Amino acid sequence: LSLQLPPRPRTAAHAERKQRAVSPARGRPPSATDGVGGEGGLWAVSLAACLSEFCREEVLDDEERYFCSACAEYVRATKRLAVWRLPPILMVHLKRFAFTEAVREKLDCAVDFPWTGLDLSAALAESSPSRLVAADGLGAAPVYDLYAACCHAGTLSNGHYTALCINQQDGHWYSFDDGQVSRAEMGGSAAVKVQQDAYVLFYEVRGLGRPPVLS
């Protein structure tokens, strides 16, 4: 899955700063993160919200109208994306690099994703063969647990990739930074840092291996 992240919020405080004169010290305009999204210019979104946006119904209108073979004309229609079949290994790509005609930037928003128990029922097609029939007769999706993550720290032009992976033998997380491997403590501020830097998330369906353990 490749999920779009929300753009940097433009608050009133940020707009006011952009109207001011440049810094007299270096002639530098205010930083793009000044006054945006709270302390440090950070903003956040949940993985569930990204999935909801991925599956949101889209209206095809104007030049995007759909050609109806029965009507023999272009008509106003709707389109919705859904997942048909879930794999045993799921990779979730977070689109942190935004390219438009006006802006090229890295989106540093913190993504609140589940380490265990990712449920993709809301993203599945109603008749998907991946739905499990529960006791109440309702279809549910298999549950996924995170086992690795690719992270990117830095900017669009100057950054560094690292990896996190769980050891299935001892249940601990480890950081892979070039030639260095060390045990990673994933609580508190360290977990928040991962949410901000995570670029690709690797999940496995529960039952393939031992579920991840936060430590």
| Long-range residue pairs from 159-164, CB within 8 A, at least 24 positions apart, any chain | 159/106, 161/199, 162/197, 164/194
| pLDDT value of residue 139 | 62
| pLDDT value of residue 78 | 82
Q: pLDDT tens across 82-137, in order? A: 888 888 999 999 998 877 777 788 888 899 999 999 988 888 888 888 776 554 55
Distance (Å, whole) CA 34 – CA 13: 8
Q: pLDDT tens across 9-42, in order? A: 765 444 333 333 333 233 222 222 333 343 445 6
* More confident of the two residues 174 and 43: 174
Quick one: pLDDT band at residue 209, thresholds 50, 70, 90?
A: low
Strand pairing class (2-4; 89-95): parallel
| Percent above pLDDT 90 for the chain | 23
| pLDDT value of residue 12 | 40
Region 146-157: what's the mean pLDDT?
Answer: 90
